[in-house]
């Protein structure tokens, strides 16, 4: 009999990078062109298969975008097992922001968590601001996926990678 | 699973809801109106599941989750209390607050994105001309930091309210304990008021047509009575809220009205030494009238005098009462008339009239008192789309729309307007001519807007006959692009009311 485990995943990123859209694409396979800013936090779930044939239930905390973790957001991320970092590939500064958020989260939690970076909006090639060399630098420090919540490209791959990393990481122990 | 039962007494605008789960995750008990938090396509079970999911984290998972979206347009501060094997989830409604914050945040983010895009364009046109400065974003972030600190006050407030709520359930027959619990709840009310005052004074919240809701004055009176009666009693004062027997409901900014009343009653209780505090609410033809009086001696003129004598208390009276200053700001935003009236027996009382856009007639039907915005715009289902160049002009229009409480999206491309149209999200269009290098006629031909859409065109002053600075033709308003703020405001109100 397969065992279903739940793992808490916090989504971090600047405002308007597409965190909510990424969740909507992954959980409900929907997308809306209208930008509606998030406030507070919304919790969704997504079940994926783990490598051993069981189910892994990802509890996704979609936290309102910001460039730093204030007291309220710091409170939200407590007990996380993994981080889904989302940046907007058409706004290069959002990559620096999300890496800073990751570092801040690790400091607050006192441990390094499995993390995956999504460079969202890859369908907007003409506006892309993250050059290939920068992407290579990023890929050297964490798994990076060019993705589009609008088309769905790369989204499932990013979730699968994060799920595998979370499943493999001993709970409460450091992870590379 | 048990059937939800109604709660006994409200502590805030809406009474807390308590959901209790057994160790297996089954719902044991629900106290309060859980259905308020069920909206969109969700069911009660979805809400219960979301609450259970909060426990999915490892060590350090939060016991207090402020501003959690439980379903579409429904938010709560959630406080989790463990008791032996069961867990209580105390839900304090934060819907109104978060909806207003979201509207303001939306406008702020849209403006920031617009600024970024313009800066990028300038960088591309003149690479290396100057370093990329983001002064307005820096300011925005500083302001957000303070706002976030104020937000932080809500977590302990939720904790206080949550525990008080649970204690209340257990001490139903202990009057002394109930008095202590009521005092704790009063402290929570004051913390809540302080937090909201902070957000308003930082510009994160404002009163406006976008926040309209229906208020039944008798329910409002009951809320004030339950919130303040015990505190007044502890001070040796009487407290009474008077409403006419058959008062009509009114449509008004509910969050602002409640905040004004709570602030003013707290302020009055601080300034009255003896007798009774009386708050009277009545609906007249000209609006909602509020009287706050100290009986029998009246108030000293100094108590509420600054509301009348000082124009901008928030800026000019930093040592004064924040509650009073915030109330003044909200009253101004709601176009209220405020007077300090001399009483025959001595002293003064405060009199306020809030003009209403709509009221209910004696048969309960809604009637229009003056022009109002379409429900879809007020409800946030549709937005006002600002397609205006140059950016400075776009920012002015966005600012005015935000002041009017209208959800707004600023765009830079015709294609983006088409997308909003396709999503049925466009309520009103503000369009400059030219836009994206095209004459407005050309843009409108391409868009093929539904006939009922309101359109405001910003054109050259030469195209506007007469002296008013703007003209209207059915649901289309044309205004000079260099019109002053008052003219733009009047034109916008007209097109929004179409």
Q: What is the pLDDT of residues B245-264, one digit of tens each?
A: 777 778 788 888 989 999 99
Query: What is the pLDDT, as a whole number, of residue B364?
Result: 41
Residues in A closer than 8 angstroms to B117, CB to CB, are: none
* Mean pLDDT over the full length of chain B: 78
Do the Cβ atoms of B291 and B349 come closer than 8 Å?
yes
Residues B62-90, mean pLDDT to the nearest whole number: 90
3-state secondary structure at position A5: strand
Q: Determine the residue of chain B that is closest to A4 in CA distance.
A: B56
Q: What is the mean pLDDT of residues B378-394?
A: 78
pLDDT above 70 as % of chain B = 80
Q: Which of A4, A15, A39, A108 to mutate to test the interface with B (most CBs of B within 10 A)?
A: A39
Nearest to A89 by CA among A129, A147, A143: A129
DSSP 8-state symbol, A10: E
Provide CB contacts within 8 A for A135, sequence distance 6+: A119, A144, A146
The pLDDT tens digits for B301-356 are: 889 988 888 777 877 665 678 889 999 989 988 888 898 888 877 889 999 998 87
Does residue A6 sit at the B interface (CB-CB below 8 Å)? yes
* Chain B touched by A8 (CB under 8 Å): yes
Least confident of B88-97, B184-193, B298-307, B461-470: B461-470
Kindly report the nearest CA distance between residue A44 and chain B, in angstroms: 7
How sure is the predictor about B362, in pLDDT bands with cuts at 50, 70 and 90?
Answer: very low
Judge contact between B39 and A31, C-beta under 8 A: no
For residue A176, pLDDT over 70 is answered with no
Judged by average pLDDT, the poorest of A139-143, B225-229, B265-269 is: B225-229
Q: What is the ipTM of this complex?
A: 0.91
Within 8 A by CB and 6+ apart from B362, the residues are: B248
Beta carbons of A43 and B54 less than 8 Å apart: yes
pLDDT score of A134 = 95
Q: What is the pLDDT of residues A10-49, one digit of tens each?
A: 999 999 999 999 999 999 999 988 888 899 999 999 999 8
- Enumerate the residues of chain A whose CB falls inside 8 A of the CB of residue B383: 34
> What tokens does B437 get?
């290098």
> What is each CA distance from A132 to A101, B128, B188, in whole angstroms?
22, 21, 53
- Taking alpha carbons only, the member of B283, B171, B204, B277 closest to residue B234 is B277
Q: Does the distance separating the beta carbons of B62 and A76 come in below 8 Å?
A: yes
Residue B359 has pLDDT above 60, yes or no: no
d(Cα B438, Cα B434) in Å, to the nearest integer? 5
Residue with the bigger pLDDT between A69 and A141: it is: A141
User: Which pLDDT value is given to residue B193?
Assistant: 82
Selected for mutation to probe chain B from A21, A23, A40, A90 (highest B CB count within 10 Å) is A40
Higher pLDDT, B168 or A101: A101
Number of Cβ atoms within 10 Å of the Cβ of B462? 7
Q: Is A96 within 8 Å of chain B by CB?
A: no
* A173 vs A135: CA distance, rounded Å: 28
CA of A80 vs chain B CAs: smallest distance (Å): 6
Chain-chain contact of B141 with A67 (C-beta, under 8 angstroms): yes
Write the CB contacts of B349 (distance below 8 Å, at least 6 apart in sequence). B291, B292, B293, B294, B298, B299, B340, B341, B343
A57 strand-pairing partners:
A6, A47
**CB contact, 8 Å: A109 with chain B?**
yes
Task: Over range B33-47, report the average pLDDT.
Answer: 93
DSSP state of B247: P
Residues facing B338 on adjacent strands: B352
Q: What is the pLDDT of residues B166-190, one digit of tens each?
A: 777 778 788 778 777 777 877 777 7
Quote the pLDDT of residue A95: 97
Q: How confident is the model at residue B13 (pLDDT cuts 50, 70, 90)?
A: low
Is B198's Cβ below 8 Å from some Cβ in A? Answer: no
Q: Residue A103: how many CB atoms within 10 A of its CB? A: 11
Q: Do A41 and B65 touch (CB under 8 A)?
A: yes
Nearest CA in chain A to B50: A43
Residue A36: how many other CB atoms lie within 10 Å: 15
Confidence (pLDDT) at B213: 72
- Put simply, the answer to whether A78 touches B60 (Cβ < 8 Å) is yes
What is the number of helices (H) and of strands (E) in chain B? 15, 20
Top mean-pLDDT range of A86-100, B9-23, B350-364, B436-450: A86-100
The whole-number pLDDT of residue B8 equals 33
- Please give the residue that has the higher pLDDT: either B490 or B386: B386
Task: Give the minimum alpha-carbon distance from B419 to chain A in angstroms, rounded to a whole number.
Answer: 7
Task: Round to whole Å and give the CA distance between A79 and B69.
Answer: 19
The residue-averaged pLDDT of A148-168 equals: 94
C-alpha dihedral, B147 to B150 to B154 to B155, nearest 10°: 90
> What was the pLDDT predicted at B479?
86
What pLDDT does B468 receive? 57
Q: Could you say which residues from 73 to 112 on chain B have a Cβ atom under 8 Å away from some Cβ of chain A?
A: 75, 94, 98, 101-102, 105-106, 109-110, 112
Which residues of chain B neighbour A172 with C-beta distances below 8 Å?
A: 58-59
Gyration radius from chain A CA atoms: 15
Q: Given a cut of 80, is residue B472 above it in pLDDT? A: no
- Tens of pLDDT, residue by residue over B421-444, are 887 778 889 999 888 888 888 888
Closest CB to B102: pick one of A7, A37, A66.
Answer: A37
Q: Residue A88 has which token pair?
A: 């907007």
What mean pLDDT comes out for the span B102-119? 75
Inter-chain residue contact A43 with B57, CB threshold 8 Å: no
pLDDT exceeds cutoff 50 at B370: no
Q: What does the pLDDT read at residue B240?
A: 93
Q: Please state whether A144 falls in left (phi above 0), alpha (psi between -120 and 50) or beta.
A: beta
Any B CB within 8 A of A92 CB: no
A71 vs B54: CB contact, 8 Å cut-off?
no
Q: With an 8 Å Cβ cutoff, is B415 touching chain A?
A: no
Instruction: Give the chain A residue nearest B132 (alpha carbons).
Output: A93
CA B149 to chain centre: 19
Q: How many helices, marked H, and strands, marked E, lie in chain A?
A: 5, 6
* Residue A173 forms contact with B (CB below 8 Å): no
CB-count burial class (<10 Å; 0-12, 13-18, 19+) for A26: buried
Maximum distance among all alpha carbons in chain B?
77
A150 and B CB contact within 8 Å: no
Judged by a CB distance cut-off of 8 A, whether residue A171 touches chain B is yes
Q: Extract the runs of DSSP E, i.e. beta strands, from B72-219.
A: 74-83, 86-93, 212-215
pLDDT at B237 over 80: yes
Give per-residue pLDDT as tens, A142-153: 999 999 999 999
DSSP one-letter string for A71-111? HHHHHHHTT-SEEEEEEETT-THHHHHHHHHHHHHHHHHTS
Question: Does B123 reach chain A within 8 Å, measured CB to CB?
Answer: no
Contact criterion met (CB < 8 Å) for B110 and A41: no
Rg (CA), chain B: 25
């Amino acid at each position: 009999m397969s065992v279903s485990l739940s793992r808490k995943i916090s989504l971090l990123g600047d405002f308007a990078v597409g965190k909510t859209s990424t969740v909507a694409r992954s959980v409900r396979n929907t997308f809306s062109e209208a930008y509606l800013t998030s406030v507070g936090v919304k919790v969704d779930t997504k079940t994926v298969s783990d490598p051993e044939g069981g189910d892994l239930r990802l509890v996704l905390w979609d936290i309102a975008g910001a460039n730093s973790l204030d007291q309220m957001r710091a409170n939200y991320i407590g007990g996380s097992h993994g981080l889904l970092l989302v940046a907007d590939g058409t706004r290069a500064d959002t990559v620096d922001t999300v890496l800073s958020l990751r570092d801040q989260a690790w400091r607050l939690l006192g441990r390094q968590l499995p993390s995956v970076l999504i460079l969202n909006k890859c369908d907007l090639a003409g506006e892309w601001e993250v050059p290939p060399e920068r992407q290579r630098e990023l890929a050297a420090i964490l798994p990076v996926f060019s993705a589009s919540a609008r088309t769905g490209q790369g989204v499932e791959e990013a979730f699968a990678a994060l799920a595998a990393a979370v499943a493999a990481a001993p709970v409460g122990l450091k992870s590379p | 699973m048990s059937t939800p039962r109604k709660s006994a007494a409200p502590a805030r605008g809406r009474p807390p809801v308590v959901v209790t789960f057994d160790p297996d995750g089954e719902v044991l008990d629900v106290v309060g109106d859980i259905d308020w938090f069920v909206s969109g396509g969700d069911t009660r079970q979805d809400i219960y599941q979301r609450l259970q999911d909060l426990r999915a984290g490892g060590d350090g998972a939060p016991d207090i989750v402020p501003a959690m979206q439980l379903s579409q347009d429904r938010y709560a501060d959630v406080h989790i209390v463990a008791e032996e094997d069961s867990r209580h989830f105390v839900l304090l409604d934060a819907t109104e607050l978060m909806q207003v914050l979201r509207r303001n945040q939306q406008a702020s983010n849209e403006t920031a994105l617009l600024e970024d895009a313009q800066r990028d364009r300038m960088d591309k046109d003149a690479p290396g001309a100057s370093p990329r400065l983001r002064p307005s974003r820096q300011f925005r972030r500083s302001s957000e930091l303070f706002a976030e600190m104020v937000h932080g006050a809500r977590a302990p407030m939720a904790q206080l309210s949550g525990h008080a709520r649970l204690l209340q359930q257990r001490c139903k027959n202990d009057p002394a304990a109930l008095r202590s619990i009521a005092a704790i709840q009063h402290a929570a009310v004051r913390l809540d008021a302080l937090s909201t005052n902070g957000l308003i004074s930082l510009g994160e919240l404002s009163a406006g047509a976008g926040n309209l809701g229906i208020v039944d004055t008798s329910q409002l009176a009951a809320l004030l009575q339950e919130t303040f009666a015990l505190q007044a009693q502890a001070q040796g004062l009487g407290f009474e809220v008077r409403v006419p027997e058959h008062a009509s409901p009114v449509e008004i900014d509910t969050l602002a009205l409640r905040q004004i009343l709570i602030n003013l009653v707290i302020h009055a209780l601080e300034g009255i030494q003896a007798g009774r505090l009386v708050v009277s609410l009545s609906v007249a033809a000209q609006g909602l009238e509020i009287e706050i009086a100290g009986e029998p001696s009246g108030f000293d003129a100094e108590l509420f005098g600054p509301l009348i004598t000082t124009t901008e208390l928030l800026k000019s009276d930093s040592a004064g009462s924040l509650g009073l200053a915030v109330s003044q700001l909200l009253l101004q935003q709601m176009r209220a008339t405020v007077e300090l009236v001399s009483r025959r027996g001595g002293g003064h009382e405060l009199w306020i009239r809030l003009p209403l856009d709509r009221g209910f007639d004696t048969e309960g039907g809604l009637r229009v008192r003056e022009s109002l915005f379409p429900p879809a715009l007020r409800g946030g289902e549709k937005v006002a789309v600002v397609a205006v160049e140059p950016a400075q002009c776009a920012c002015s229009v966005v600012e005015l729309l935000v002041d009017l409480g209208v959800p707004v999206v600023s765009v830079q491309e015709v294609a983006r307007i088409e997308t909003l149209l396709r999503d049925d999200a466009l309520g009103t269009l503000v369009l400059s001519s030219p836009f994206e290098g095209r004459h407005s006629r050309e843009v409108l031909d391409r868009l093929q807007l539904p006939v009922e859409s309101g359109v405001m065109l910003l054109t050259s002053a030469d195209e506007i006959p007469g002296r008013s600075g703007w003209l209207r033709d059915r649901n289309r308003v044309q205004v000079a692009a260099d019109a002053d703020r008052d003219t733009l405001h009047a034109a916008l109100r007209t097109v929004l009311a179409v």
